[in-house]
Structure 1
Amino acid sequence: MLRPGHFERAAMALRSELRVLVVDDMSVSRQVLLQLLERFGVRQVRTACSAEEALQLLESAPIDVVICDLCMPGMDGMALLRRMRGDSRHRRKRFVLTTGHAAGVSLGHIPVERPDAVLPKPFEARELLDCMERIAGRI
C-alpha cells in the first residue's frame, strides 16, 4: 500500500501536461486507469473502448502516451502498436501494453514494434506510477 501523501509527491514528478489515451474494451479497466492517472496528476486523459476508436482519437487529439490492453476484440493492442509505429505521425508516441497474459507475451523479436513498457495485470498502483514516471521522462 502507498503511504498517505505519496500520491501528491508522485504527482509533482509527472508532467501535468502529459496527454494520455487509455484503450481497453473493459470499462472497469478504463475507469481504474483513468482514476489512477488523475490521482497521479495527469489531467489530460482520454479513453477508447477499441483500437479502432483509439486510431480516430489519435487523428483528432494530441496524445503523448497510449496505454492499451493486449487482448481486445477486433484489432488488438499489438495491431494498434504496429499501425502507430508504421505511421510517421504516431511513430514516436509512447506505448504501454497492458495484459493479463504477460507470461505468454514475447516482444523481443519485434524491435521496431516493441512497446515502451509492458504492464502485467493485475498491477499495483505503484507499478503504474513507476511506469508513467519512466515514460514521462522520455517525452
Structure 2
Amino acid sequence: MINPVLDDPLDRNVLVVDDHPDLRRMVVRMLARSDIIAVDEADSGEECLALCAGFKYRVILMDLTMPGIGGMTACKTLRQLSRHNSTRIVACTAHSTLYAREVFFNTGFNDILPKPFSYEDLLGAVSPHLE
C-alpha cells in the first residue's frame, strides 16, 4: 500500500485532469483503492493550471482532448514553471502511435497511459513516483 507522508502542505500526490466526470471519478476511486492520498481533480486545462499555481503535484494524469486549453498546451505551460520541472506528467490518450508518442515526449510528457487502461496500468504509471 502507498501512503506517503507529505512534508509540505502544498505538495500533493496526484492531479487527475479530464473533462469527463465519470472517468475522473473512476480514476480517483481506483487510486483510493491503493491508499494514494491527496488526489485532486480538474475538468479542464485551465483548472489544471490554476491548481498547479498553488500546489506541486508528483504526478499529473492529463487527458489531451478537452475544451479550451487541452492537455498538450497545459503540459507545455507547466514545463515552463520551475515548480513543475520534476513533476511526472502522463498523457492519457487513445492515440499512442509511435509518431504520437514522439510528439508527446517532445511536448514534455514523461509517459503515456493508453485508454482504455486497467487498474494495474494506472498503478504502474503512478505508484513508482510516490515512494
- TM-score over 0.5 for the pair: yes
Could you tell me which runs of 5 or more consecutive residues in structure 2 were left unpaired when the two chains were aligned.
7-11
**Root-mean-square deviation (CA), in Å?**
2.1
Which structure shows the bigger proportion of residues in strand conformation? 2
Matched AA of 1:15: P
Normalising by structure 2, what TM-score? 0.83
Residue 93 of structure 1 aligns with which residue? 87
Matched AA of 1:114: G
Residues matched between the structures, number: 126
Normalising by structure 1, what TM-score? 0.79
Could you tell me which runs of 5 or more consecutive residues in structure 1 were left unpaired when the two chains were aligned.
1-10
Residue 121 of structure 1 aligns with which residue? 115
Alpha-carbon distance between aligned partners in 2 of 1:83 and 1:59, rounded to the nearest angstrom: 11
Of the candidates 78, 90, 97, which is equivalent to residue 84 of structure 1?
Answer: 78
CA gap of 1:92–1:121, structure 2 versus 1, over 3 A, is same
Q: Give the greater-gyration-radius structure (CA).
A: 1
Matched AA of 2:62: C
Following superposition, the deviation at residue 110 of structure 1 comes to: 6.5
Alignment of 1:1-139 (within 5 A): 11-12=1-2, 15=4, 17=6, 19-103=13-97, 106-108=100-102, 113-136=107-130
Per the alignment, in what secondary structure is the counterpart of residue 76 of structure 2? helix
Is the CA contact 1:95–1:116 (under 8 Å) kept in the aligned structure 2?
A: yes
Q: Deviations over 1:8-37 (max 9, x none)?
A: xxx24x636461111000001110110011
Off by >6 Å, runs of 4+ in structure 1: none
Matched AA of 2:4: R
Following superposition, the deviation at residue 93 of structure 1 comes to: 1.1
Alpha-carbon distance between aligned partners in 1 of 2:114 and 2:103, rounded to the nearest angstrom: 19
Identity of aligned residues (%): 31
CA gap of 1:16–1:31, structure 2 versus 1, over 3 A, is farther
